């Protein structure tokens, strides 16, 4: 069986922990929130066996990588810079960059800003959205209210304290609640509460998720906790300011988009998905996974692997 190995790599200013497998053309796998390299466990081995060098880092602020204390050092420019720095540190000229959840905007941005480094780009759950005409946080507050989770995450200290209080419970609620097996409620916190209050703690985990998986996430978060991950959200308006030069700029490399038809994020973005070729002209395919929720590559590993490897072989 293919082995997943671990090491640390200096990627620019950041000492990144990576999990990797295989040899061949480089494929970067960028996780989302609240995840880490472990969310790509099924893809690392499958890609290696298909002839690729698959690398899943813990991104800035997460798990074994950790990150700076200053919230302002978690902008999209930092995150795309980390991806480019990692490509260089691994000795590759270019890579295919795949991202899920928050990793998808990082993948899209890397392909948009540095197409010379990106052979292809794969987004899961979160489609590419062109830069909006106004800062996003106030727009979300008007649309969804102060309880919307991205608005709540602007508060200092409070969101991560709630997540860190019972990490096993946090991962059970998040991974089950937003899956195709869970209720996938709108992430709008009640007055005086947090988003975990709208996500049930399951009596039984779905078949794709085990107690050992939950324990693995808890162990990976043991040192760095949730402050770094939440800091990504605290830069939403700053990202908008910093990306003015790429306003409505196209993404040139060949692209693939994958999402579950029970993913509240993707379902809510159908307009952006249907019009994505306006800004991603080389979008080769959009793959919808029946009955799949938000955790695309964990819930449907075989189907995701097939779609990703088919895309890679077509490059």
Quick one: CA torsion of 267, 271, 277, 279, rounded to 10 degrees? -110
Nearest to 52 by CA among 89, 20, 26: 26
Q: Which distant-in-sequence residues (6+ apart) come within 8 Å of 106 by Cβ? A: 30, 59, 76, 79, 80, 83, 99
303 C-beta neighbours (distance < 10 Å), count: 17
Pick the catalytic residue from 31, 78, 100, 294: 294
Measured CA to CA, the distance from residue 104 to residue 43 in angstroms comes to 16
Cis, bond preceding 119 (omega within 30 deg of 0): no
Q: Which distant-in-sequence residues (6+ apart) come within 8 Å of 125 by Cβ? A: 32, 100, 101, 104, 258, 259, 260, 263, 265, 266, 294, 296
Task: Tell me if residue 294 is catalytic.
Answer: yes
Residue 211, judged by CB atoms within 10 A of its CB (0-12, 13-18, 19+), counts as exposed
DSSP 8-state secondary structure symbol assigned to residue 266: H
Measured CA to CA, the distance from residue 252 to residue 112 in angstroms comes to 7
Burial of 226-258, coded b for 16+ CB within 10 Å and e otherwise, reads bbbbbbbbbbbebbbeebeeeeeeebebbbbbb
Nearest to 150 by CA among 126, 172, 168: 126
CB 122 within 8 Å of CB 256: yes
Whole-Å CA distances, 254 to 6, 15, 60, 112, 156? 29, 30, 26, 11, 39
Pick the catalytic residue from 101, 181, 213, 263: 101
CB 29 within 8 Å of CB 56: yes
Residue positions annotated with a catalytic role: 101, 294
């Amino acid at each position: 069986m293919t082995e997943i190995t671990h090491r640390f790599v200096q990627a620019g200013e950041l000492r990144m922990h990576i999990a990797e497998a295989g040899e061949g053309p480089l494929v970067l796998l960028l996780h989302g929130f609240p995840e880490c390299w472990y969310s790509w466990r099924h893809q690392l081995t499958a890609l290696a066996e298909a002839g690729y060098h698959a690398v899943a880092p813990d991104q800035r602020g997460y798990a074994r990588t950790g990150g700076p204390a200053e919230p302002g050092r978690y902008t999209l420019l930092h995150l795309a810079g980390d991806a480019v720095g990692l490509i260089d540190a691994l000795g590759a000229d270019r890579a295919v960059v795949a991202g899920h959840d928050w990793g998808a905007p990082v993948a899209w941005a890397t392909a948009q800003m540095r197409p010379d480094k990106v052979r292809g780009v794969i987004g899961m759950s979160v489609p590419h959205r062109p830069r909006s005409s106004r800062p996003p946080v106030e727009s979300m507050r008007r649309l969804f209210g102060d309880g919307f989770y991205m608005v709540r995450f602007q508060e200092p200290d409070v969101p991560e304290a709630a997540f860190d209080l019972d990490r096993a419970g946090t991962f059970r609620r998040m991974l089950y609640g937003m899956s195709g097996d869970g209720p996938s409620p709108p992430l709008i916190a009640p007055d005086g509460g947090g988003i975990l209050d709208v996500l049930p703690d399951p009596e039984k985990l779905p078949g794709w998720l085990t107690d050992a998986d939950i324990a693995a996430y808890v162990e990976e978060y043991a040192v760095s906790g949730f402050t770094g991950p939440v800091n990504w959200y605290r830069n939403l308006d700053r990202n908008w300011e910093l990306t003015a030069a790429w306003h409505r700029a196209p993404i040139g490399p060949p692209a693939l988009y994958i999402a579950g038809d029970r993913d509240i994020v993707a379902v809510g973005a159908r307009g952006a998905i249907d019009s994505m070729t306006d800004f991603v002209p080389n979008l080769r395919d959009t793959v919808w996974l029946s009955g799949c929720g938000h955790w695309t590559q964990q819930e449907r590993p075989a189907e995701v692997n097939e779609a990703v490897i088919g895309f890679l072989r077509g490059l």
